[in-house]
C-alpha cells in the first residue's frame, strides 16, 4: 500500500482518551488550514466507534474555525439517541480549548425498502484520462509555490476529471463537472473504513464547482475560499478503492457564498452517496491579496 494512503488510514484510526473522547492528528496537504475532509473523516470515525450493528446513512456538519495543522484534534461524541432502528451521534472537534467543527451523524440498522435513484451521467470512463496532478511544467511555473505543492503532491486518491481545469487561464464554464475518483490501492473489507474515507474524499472539488461559471483567477492568489458546512447522505454500499464517478453541479452563488451539490456513482451506475456544501468565496483586489495562511483576512 502507498505510504500516503496508509498514512490517511492511520489518521482515521483515532486514539481513545476515555469513553466517547478521541484524539486525531493532522497532515498538511498544501491547503491554508486543516483539510475539511480530514475533519469530516475523523469525526465520522469517532462516531463509528460508539455504534454497533448499524451503518451511517447521513451526516450534517459545520466548520466553525480554521484547524491548526500543528496541533492534535480532540473529538467528543455525544450518544444523543439509540432507538430501535436508528442511532444519532453528535460530535464536536476541539483545538486549543475551542470547538472548530461540529457534526450530527445518523446510523440505521440495515433493512429493505422501496428503491429508485437518479441515472448516472453518460461521460467518458476513467481509462485514458489524465490525473489531476498531471500538469505541464509550463503551467506549474505560473502558479504560486503553495498552490503548486497542493496540485502536485502525492495523494491517497486518484482524481481524473472528465474535463480538465485550466488554473492559469481560467474560462467561464458550465455549472457542472465530473471527476472519476479511486483510492490508489486496495483496502481492507471494512464498511466503516470505506464510509470514513468517502467522507474524507467528498470534500475534494465540491466547493470549487461554484466558481466554474466565473472563471476565477486562482493562480493570482486573490481568491479566498473556505467550507462553511457539509452534508453527506450514504445511499448504498460502495468501495472507495474502485472507480467512482463524482458528479457536481452548482445551482447558486451569491452573498460571497457558493453552493454546490454532488452525486457519487459506482462504476456500475449505482448511486452510492449525495453531497451538498456551502462555502465562502471571495475575490480580493490585488492590494488585498492574502499571501500567507496567517493573514487575518483569511479568517471566516
The C-alpha cell 474515507 sits at 197
Q: Which parts of the chain fold into alpha helices (H)?
A: 3-12, 36-48, 137-140, 145-152, 191-201
Q: How many CB atoms lie within 10 A of CB 260?
A: 26
Q: Which of 276, 69, 246, 223 is nearest to 162 (CA)?
A: 246
Rounded distance between C-alpha atoms, residue 245 and residue 264, angstroms: 6
Catalytic residues: 203, 227, 277
Rounded distance between C-alpha atoms, residue 41 and residue 14, angstroms: 11
Residue 32: C-alpha distances to residues 139, 175, 269 (Å): 21, 25, 35
Residue 72: C-alpha distances to residues 22, 100, 118, 286 (Å): 10, 12, 40, 34
Residue 8 DSSP label: H
Contact (Cβ atoms closer than 8 angstroms) between residue 265 and residue 248? no
Q: Which three cell numbers stand for residue 237?
A: 454500499
Q: Which of 137, 64, 119 is nearest to 94 (CA)?
A: 64
Residues 243-252: b if buried by 16+ CB within 10 A, e if exposed:
bbbbbbbbee
Amino acid at each position: 500500500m502507498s505510504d500516503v494512503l496508509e498514512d490517511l488510514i492511520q489518521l482515521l484510526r483515532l486514539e481513545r482518551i476515555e469513553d466517547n473522547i478521541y484524539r486525531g492528528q493532522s497532515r498538511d496537504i498544501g491547503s491554508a488550514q486543516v483539510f475539511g475532509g480530514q475533519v469530516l473523516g475523523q469525526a465520522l470515525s469517532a462516531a463509528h466507534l460508539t455504534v454497533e450493528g448499524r451503518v451511517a446513512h447521513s451526516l450534517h456538519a459545520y466548520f466553525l474555525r480554521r484547524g491548526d495543522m500543528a496541533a492534535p484534534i480532540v473529538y467528543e461524541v455525544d450518544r444523543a439517541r439509540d432507538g430501535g432502528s436508528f442511532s444519532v451521534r453528535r460530535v464536536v472537534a476541539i483545538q486549543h480549548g475551542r470547538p472548530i467543527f461540529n457534526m450530527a451523524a445518523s446510523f440505521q440498522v440495515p433493512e429493505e425498502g422501496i428503491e429508485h435513484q437518479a441515472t448516472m451521467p453518460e461521460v467518458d470512463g476513467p481509462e485514458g484520462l489524465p490525473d489531476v496532478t498531471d500538469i505541464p511544467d509550463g503551467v506549474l511555473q505560473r502558479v504560486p509555490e503553495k498552490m503548486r505543492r497542493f496540485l502536485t503532491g502525492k495523494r491517497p486518491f486518484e482524481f481524473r476529471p472528465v474535463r480538465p481545469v485550466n488554473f492559469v487561464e481560467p474560462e467561464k464554464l458550465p455549472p457542472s463537472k465530473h471527476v472519476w475518483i479511486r483510492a490508489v490501492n486496495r483496502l481492507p473489507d471494512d464498511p466503516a473504513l470505506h464510509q470514513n474515507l468517502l467522507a474524507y474524499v467528498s470534500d475534494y472539488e465540491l466547493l470549487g464547482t461554484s466558481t466554474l461559471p466565473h472563471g476565477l483567477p486562482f493562480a493570482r492568489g486573490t481568491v479566498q475560499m473556505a467550507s462553511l458546512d457539509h452534508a453527506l447522505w450514504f445511499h448504498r454500499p460502495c468501495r472507495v478503492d474502485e472507480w467512482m464517478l463524482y458528479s457536481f453541479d452548482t445551482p447558486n452563488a451569491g452573498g460571497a457564498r457558493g453552493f454546490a451539490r454532488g452525486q457519487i456513482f459506482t462504476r456500475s451506475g449505482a448511486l452510492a452517496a449525495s453531497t451538498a456544501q456551502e462555502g465562502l468565496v471571495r475575490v480580493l483586489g490585488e492590494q488585498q491579496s492574502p499571501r500567507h495562511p496567517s493573514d487575518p483576512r483569511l479568517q471566516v
